[in-house]
Structure 1
Amino acid sequence: MIPAIKVFFMLVATSVGCDCKSDGWESVVEKTEALVLHRESFRVPKDPVGSEYEASCVRIRFQIDTSGNPINVSIDKSSRNRVIDVAARETLKKFRFRVPQGDSGEEFALVFEYPLRDAP
């Protein structure tokens, strides 16, 4: 088992310079957050040489199926660190959502931040 740093999913990116909710994505992320029924903690495996990863965020875009599962999951804005991106994508796959009314092809997005910081 790979040791992991336990980092909780964060709905709002609070780090200075983290722009995962920019470019018009803030309203999409807020709408998606309102649909979350079950969330998992965001766990990023430790660097094998013991170094710390740089602070970063990941925006993941996806759709929600009729059972409330995320489908067609893709990294929309990368952290530029494969380990963090994969951890965010795998964490999202364990989330469950309230099934939205309307367009079944609607896209949703959530932001994961590494490391978690206390909100101001």
Structure 2
Amino acid sequence: MTYEIDLMHPGHKAWTVTREELPAAYVDLKEGNSPSVTWGDISDGGVVIVQVADDYSVVTLGVDDTFYWLQTSDDDEPVTVEIGGTDGEVPRGALVPRELGLEVLLRVDNLAALRTDYMWAEQ
């Protein structure tokens, strides 16, 4: 199982890590680089994308041609965050603890459980 890490600042840099390498790589990610970690592809059954900030993460699950935000509350007030190097709006409830992003990435081998074990809101 592999994951792609993308840094958007100061220039685009991408590399692949294994499941075993992911926790150490995740700890080293810095918000100023606009990092994201991706596993899978929606056309292959599912994708998980985690935008990593210093004190939160934004987790997206894509399955069955639909994308969902992971949420820890139903607060839908829009907030601006950097996603993929550009500003985007997400519901406040989609700002989840940074560690939760890593937890979800480590559980991608069971997307059915991810869909039921966490609260998701359609994007």
Between structure 1 and structure 2, the one with the greater Rg is: 1
Pick 1 or 2: higher relative contact order, CA cutoff 8 A, min separation 6.
1
When normalised by structure 1's length, the TM-score is: 0.28
When normalised by structure 2's length, the TM-score is: 0.27
- Which structure features the higher share of strand residues? 2
